[in-house]
């Protein structure tokens, strides 16, 4: 039997004379805004060294947040609401870890994050 389509280098078949463009972005597609002034290209080597205290403190905070989340779950089970102090602590730990990760791992900022600051 003869094929009605053409076979490309990738082995896919298509109709002759049609070109497939890039796929359209899916709904909810997120784009990151790159800093206007750019980032220092040499600084990642220094960032990884200066991020060591943040990684140690972030690990300690994360390990301390695990029982806090468990206690919050118990409190939610019995009272039906999240205690404000436990909520502030867990969101503060998340903020701290996100600041450290955005500085050292994803390299999205050159601003050094503050140590021991859980609030904004």
The helices-and-strands tally (H runs, E runs) of the chain is: 3, 2
Task: Give domain status of residue 2, yes or no.
Answer: no
Predicted pLDDT at 105: 74
Residue 59 domain boundaries: 47-120
Residue 34: DSSP 8-state: P
Task: Give domain status of residue 89, yes or no.
Answer: yes
Give tens-digit pLDDT for 41-85. 777 777 778 778 888 888 999 999 999 999 999 999 999 999 999
Task: Give domain status of residue 91, yes or no.
Answer: yes
Task: Give domain status of residue 40, yes or no.
Answer: no
Task: Give domain status of residue 34, yes or no.
Answer: no
Q: How many domains does the chain have?
A: 1
Q: What is the helix, strand, coil percentage profile of the chain, to 5?
A: 50, 5, 50
Question: Is 4:12 a contact under the CB 8 Å cutoff?
Answer: no
Q: Token pair 């896919």 is at which residue?
A: 12
Rg for the chain, CA atoms, rounded: 24
Q: Token pair 């709904």 is at which residue?
A: 27
């Amino acid at each position: 039997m003869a094929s009605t389509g053409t076979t490309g280098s990738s082995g896919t078949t298509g109709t002759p004379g049609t070109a497939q463009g890039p796929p359209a972005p899916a709904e909810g597609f997120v784009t990151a805004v790159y800093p206007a002034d750019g980032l220092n290209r040499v600084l990642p080597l220094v960032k990884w060294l200066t991020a060591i205290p943040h990684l140690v403190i972030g690990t300690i905070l994360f390990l301390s947040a695990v029982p806090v989340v468990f206690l919050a779950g118990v409190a939610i089970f019995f009272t039906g609401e999240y205690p404000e102090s436990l909520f502030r602590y867990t969101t503060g730990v998340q903020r701290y870890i996100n600041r450290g990760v955005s500085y050292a791992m994803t390299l999205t900022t050159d601003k050094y994050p503050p140590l021991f600051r859980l609030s904004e």
